[in-house]
Copies of this chain bind each other. A is one copy, B any other.
Amino acid sequence: MRQAGRSLPEYRAVREHADILRICREPELAAEVTLQPVRRLGVDAAILFSDITVPLVAMGVDIKIVPGTGPVLERPIRSMADLERIGQFEPNTHAPFVADAVRLAVAELEVPLIGFAGGPFTLASYLIEGGPSKTHTLTRKLMYCEPELWEQLLSRLADIATASLRAQVDAGAQAVQVFESWAGVLSVDSYRRFVLPAAARIFAGVADLGVPRIHFGVGTGELLELMAEAGADVVGVDWRVPLDRARARLGAQTAVQGNLDPVACLAPWEVLSEHVDAVLERGGGRGHIFNLGHGVLPETSPDMLKRIVERVHQRSSTAQTTSPTGGAD
């Protein structure tokens, strides 16, 4: 239930006097909004309130988060010369507030905290397009036309994600998630050739920490096996792929997370509960972390989210299914 905060009045109250990046930079605020959905919804895990662009912003890349739009750059990254702007990320120097927020949240939480980082394709897309894109055309064009520049950019972004995840785990995060949100735009061949190496670098780079590693993207039905191959213990599945089908593709060694359609949360309970039950049924109990298939829509009623959590707990009290959530934005 990533972005659950957007549906909570207590989160909106915080947002009235602080934008997203300011919340990320102030540990007390970040910890507070991380805790909000856990308190209200009774979920089994929290996810740190932060943003995938935070390390880049902290290193001085001129990213702004425009409400209603998303991350926007005035000067996109499109050449070898531009690459110099993406340096080495030193969490303790550039963004000590992240670890501080993790420590504050963990001290208050009675459930595990998930740390996270942006996937290299997804961050590259924002950097190259200069903002959100429906088609990621410039990104994929650069990938096909300038494979060396592409590889260097993704390698740097993988190192940033690795350093960021390590710092969060050092500070107390008990699991990590890589949000490779937009990789689903890629063909299987393109993902394998142009993204998998960087993803594998991240997962290998945190393997020694001994925490569960989750890998998630939207519309990635064709990529599930490769996203596991990158080194993930858990693969997030959006609502498009039936979970039993996802499990068949992934095999017994990889757990799945998902995959309630966020739009179903806008329907009356008798409709929504059918969706919840179908996800649980197809998830099959063990090796399934119940979750939405994508972020919570802002117009969702917190009461419905609470009823979902209760339903999952009630139906899976013998099946060990869990339900993480939090305020990542």
Contact = CB atoms under 8 A, between A and B. Distances in A.
Interface of A: 134, 137, 140-141, 144-145, 184-190, 219, 221-222, 239-242, 245, 261, 263-264, 266-268, 271, 278, 297
B245 A222 contact: yes
A240 B222 contact: yes
Nearest to A282: B189
Contact of A144 (B185, B187, B242, B264): B264
Contacts of A278: 189
Contact of A268 (B140, B145, B240): B145
Nearest to A267: B144
Contact of A187 (B186, B261, B267): B261
- Nearest 7 pairs between A and B by C-beta? A144-B267, A140-B263, A141-B266, A187-B239, A221-B221, A145-B267, A221-B222
Interface of A (DSSP majority class): helix
Contacts of A186: 240
20 contacts: A134-B134, A137-B297, A140-B263, A141-B263, A141-B267, A144-B263, A144-B264, A145-B266, A145-B267, A184-B219, A186-B240, A187-B239, A187-B240, A187-B261, A188-B241, A188-B242, A189-B278, A219-B219, A222-B241, A222-B245
Nearest to A297: B137
Nearest to A259: B187
A124 to B, nearest CB: 14
A328 B240 CA distance: 28
Nearest to A239: B187
A260 B241 CA distance: 23
A201 to B, nearest CB: 24
Contact of A266 (B144, B188, B263, B267): B144
Contacts of A267: 141, 144-145
B271 A144 contact: yes
Given A141-B267, A188-B241, 7 more contacts: A134-B134, A137-B297, A145-B268, A185-B240, A187-B241, A219-B219, A221-B221
